[in-house]
Structure 1
């Protein structure tokens, strides 16, 4: 857990709001939760200040505590995320359409769902391919299976016991999986990276046959960067 205080906010802005956002960002990188002391250390404030921040975020259902008093992100963020997902879909739609046509494969945009799952936010099928994969929007799969989930994990801090495929995806920029969420289907996905390296989504393709993943990997990495740029993510 980092103990170095974060850079001070611009004096023209609200320091309290700045600290509250830092708490949320810290929790987003801590899927197993944090104690109040760990929150205080993580954002460089006194424990009393961290306690007040957590209590305020709890009132707005932006974080919650379990029976062991570990703090995690709360369900109130889902409502806030809905409007963001609308913008994400609008931005991503033409990129997915171009990706699907260029690769002759089904393209998909997947977002993190809680701590351990990933949800298909958008699926675009190629119009002119002789054959392609079909699956439904809204499908939820484990975060640790399938190229989309592996790509999301690759943009997160390493987890204890994580798969070698995640480490490999972290090194080359895209993840590859075969028959993990759908029989006989190979997926290639890259993370759409947001502020401070956190994954906003993953973009990928699904195919039945794949000899060399590198060209598909380059294509999904380029598409992910394009979406991030259109969303003005740093």
Structure 2
């Protein structure tokens, strides 16, 4: 979780930390667990949760476990709506062509990325499954590596980032899920920085797949502008 600084509202910061915490625990947490994780007194946590409940951003079940509320759906719906609307048919074409799971990933902060959309193949015998909204470190997995590769080189960057910069797409092996290959390319001109990619069990010709992903990312970038 991010740290609070002097220019921020500590109360709002703590409330948002609770939402981020609950996003990582879909089965819910107790009030005590929330207070300990956020680093506030249980009474403070209670007030924060009550406020979030009033706005339908979290809820309690009959066991008094707290989880995210349905109000977040209404808030999230407009977020990157144009990007998702344009990306879906492009990702569907990509997954139909490869029989692999396609994903749309956006840079959320300096150190992490979030899966905004997952499109699973309709005719594959087996495929990789991910949860939309999943957050991963930006320097792990092909999606984040592709986004990093779109920026100028920095000291200490992974060799995989430099390689992705030369190739026009990034490849990772088992970094997000064991035994899964990721191949991603950045979407030119997208804001926030965005990549599209595939998650595969095997890639006999990763250069060919990488070129297909890169071409598809360029096409989505054209659609966005």
Q: TM-score, structure 2 length as denominator?
A: 0.64
| Kept in 1: contact 2:150–2:165 (CA 8 A) | yes
Match in the other structure for 1:212? 205
Please say if residues 203 and 209 of structure 2, whose CA atoms lie closer than 8 Å, have aligned partners that are also in contact: no
What residue number does 1:15 align with?
none
Aligned equivalents of 1:176, 1:116: Cα separation in 2: 19
SS in structure 2 at match of 1:193 = coil
Is the aligned partner of 1:104 residue 2:99?
A: yes
User: Separation in 1 of the partners of 2:123 and 2:154?
Assistant: 41
Q: d(CA) in 2 for partners of 1:82 and 1:154?
A: 29
Q: How many residues were matched structurally? A: 152
Paired with 1:110 and 1:156, the residues of 2 have a C-alpha distance of 16
Preserved CA contact (<8 Å) 2:114 2:134: yes
1:88 aligns with 2:83: yes
Contact 1:106/1:132 (CA < 8 Å) preserved in 2?
yes
Q: 2:172 aligns with which of 177, 190, 195?
A: 177
Query: In 2, distance between residues paired with 1:212 and 1:223?
Result: 17
2:173 is the counterpart of 1:161: no
Report the Cα distance in structure 1 between the residues aligned to 2:89 and 2:189, rounded to whole angstroms.
20
Question: TM-score, normalised to structure 1's length?
Answer: 0.62
Q: Tell me the CA shift for residue 111 of structure 1.
A: 0.2
Deviation at 1:130, TM superposition (A): 1.1
The two structures, once aligned, show a CA RMSD in angstroms of: 1.9
Give 1:160 deviation, angstroms: 2.0
Tell me how far apart the structure 2 counterparts of residues 133 and 82 of structure 1 sit (CA, whole Å). 25
Cα distance change of structure 1 residues 225 and 199 upon mapping to structure 2, 3 Å threshold = farther
Deviation at 1:158, TM superposition (A): 1.7
- Between the aligned partners of 2:196 and 2:146, the Cα distance in structure 1 is 9
Q: Deviations over 1:60-83 (max 9, x none)?
A: xxxxxxxxxxxxxxxxxxxxx985
CA distance in structure 2 between the partners assigned to 1:172 and 1:82 by the alignment: 35
Matched with 1:221 is 214
**Structure 1 residue 150 displacement after superposition:** 0.3
